């Protein structure tokens, strides 16, 4: 065996030398400099920023989910002595922080959707008045919509400090974490790098498009809201009844067996599938950050 070892090492070395002459092909997306697909952590971070919780991180939110799971599990297990019931309500509690962040982010995106046309109009007026693009963006810290002023105030501070327009735009995109903001920022970046006299027309067209989109989406969401609320009530009703039954030990004793745990698992799966199916059928297209 020892006599074969030098031959194996020599063969492996020659194979590695041969392999080095064939470079690994680079994927087309990476070769063209396209953005990588956002990870779960990126999506959670975007949701936190959109919800207004910039100081929190994705790991902090996930830690809160774990703590909620443990506390609720212990609470219901002490009340019912049934691990299956405690696990069901603990899973709901673990999902609650993420659901809260997503709900707040969704509401804030809806409010910003109505504010972006005014911000674009302010930039258009500043450009027509002869201001440079950095100054046109910086003046939104004082003249822009109230909810957008902090982000543009930070942009103005960054630009005064560094003078690097592109880097300041990248940081502005991270602070906003908004698809509409991404499109506006990339349009302004191209306009500054390429130049041209069509910037005013581009901004006016974008403003009209954003207003039309906001009005149409508002009407659709108003008509859809009663269906979504009814579906949420239908999904929550059985679990509310189960929570009320949990206060009586004899009523939940049947769920302590394997068959009872199976009934709870099937009920939870049916609730999740039905709710997700309803959302999929009645969903509205959401803007995604493709220009992050």
Q: Residue 81 belongs to what domain range?
A: 43-281
pLDDT of residue 244: 83
Q: What percent of the chain has pLDDT over 70?
A: 82
Looking at the domain assignment, is residue 207 inside a domain?
Answer: yes
Looking at the domain assignment, is residue 289 inside a domain?
Answer: no
- For the stretch 180-230, pLDDT in tens is 888 888 888 887 777 656 777 878 888 888 888 888 888 877 777 777 777
pLDDT of residue 9: 66
Looking at the domain assignment, is residue 116 inside a domain?
Answer: yes
Looking at the domain assignment, is residue 51 inside a domain?
Answer: yes
- The mean-pLDDT minimum among 70-84, 103-117, 278-292 falls in 278-292
pLDDT of residue 24: 56
How far apart CA 173 and CA 43 sit, in angstroms, is 14
The tokens for 167 are 């880097």
Say if residues 292 and 38 touch (Cβ distance below 8 Å): yes
Say if residues 172 and 155 touch (Cβ distance below 8 Å): yes
State the total domains in the chain.
1
Looking at the domain assignment, is residue 1 inside a domain?
Answer: no
How far apart CA 62 and CA 2 sit, in angstroms, is 53
Looking at the domain assignment, is residue 17 inside a domain?
Answer: no
The tokens for 6 are 């030098």
Looking at the domain assignment, is residue 2 inside a domain?
Answer: no
Say if residues 211 and 143 touch (Cβ distance below 8 Å): no
* Range among 30-39, 57-66, 172-181 with highest mean pLDDT value: 57-66
Looking at the domain assignment, is residue 96 inside a domain?
Answer: yes
The residue that leads in pLDDT, 162 or 291, is 162
> Is the pLDDT at 168 greater than 80, yes or no?
yes
- For the stretch 112-155, pLDDT in tens is 888 888 888 888 888 888 888 888 888 888 888 888 888 899 99
**Confidence band of 277 (pLDDT split at 50, 70, 90):** confident
């Amino acid at each position: 065996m020892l006599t074969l070892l030098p031959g194996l090492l020599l063969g492996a070395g020659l194979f590695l030398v041969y392999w080095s002459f064939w470079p690994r092909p680079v994927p087309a997306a990476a070769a063209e400099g396209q953005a990588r697909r956002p990870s779960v952590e990126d999506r959670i971070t975007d949701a936190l920023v959109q919800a207004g919780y910039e100081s929190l991180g994705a790991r902090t939110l996930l830690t809160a989910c774990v703590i909620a799971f443990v506390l609720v599990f212990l609470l219901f297990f002490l009340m019912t002595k049934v691990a299956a019931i405690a696990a069901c309500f603990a899973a709901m509690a673990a999902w609650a922080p993420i659901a809260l962040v997503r709900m707040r982010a969704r509401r804030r995106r809806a409010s910003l959707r109505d504010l972006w046309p005014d911000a674009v109009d302010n930039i258009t007026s500043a450009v027509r008045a002869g201001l440079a693009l950095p100054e046109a963006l910086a003046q939104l810290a004082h003249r822009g919509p109230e909810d957008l002023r902090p982000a543009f105030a930070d942009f103005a501070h960054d630009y005064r400090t560094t003078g690097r327009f592109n880097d300041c735009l990248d940081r502005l995109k991270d602070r906003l974490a908004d698809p509409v903001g991404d499109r506006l920022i990339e349009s302004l970046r191209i306009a500054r790098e390429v130049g041209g006299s069509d910037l005013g027309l581009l901004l006016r067209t974008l403003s009209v498009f954003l207003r039309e989109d906001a009005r149409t989406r508002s009407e659709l969401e108003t008509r859809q809201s009663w269906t979504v609320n009814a579906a949420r009530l239908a999904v929550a009703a059985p679990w509310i009844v189960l929570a009320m039954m949990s206060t009586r030990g004899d009523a939940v004793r049947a769920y302590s067996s394997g068959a009872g745990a199976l009934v709870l698992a099937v009920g939870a799966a049916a609730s999740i599938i039905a709710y997700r199916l309803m959302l999929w059928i009645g969903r509205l297209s959401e803007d995604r950050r493709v220009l992050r």
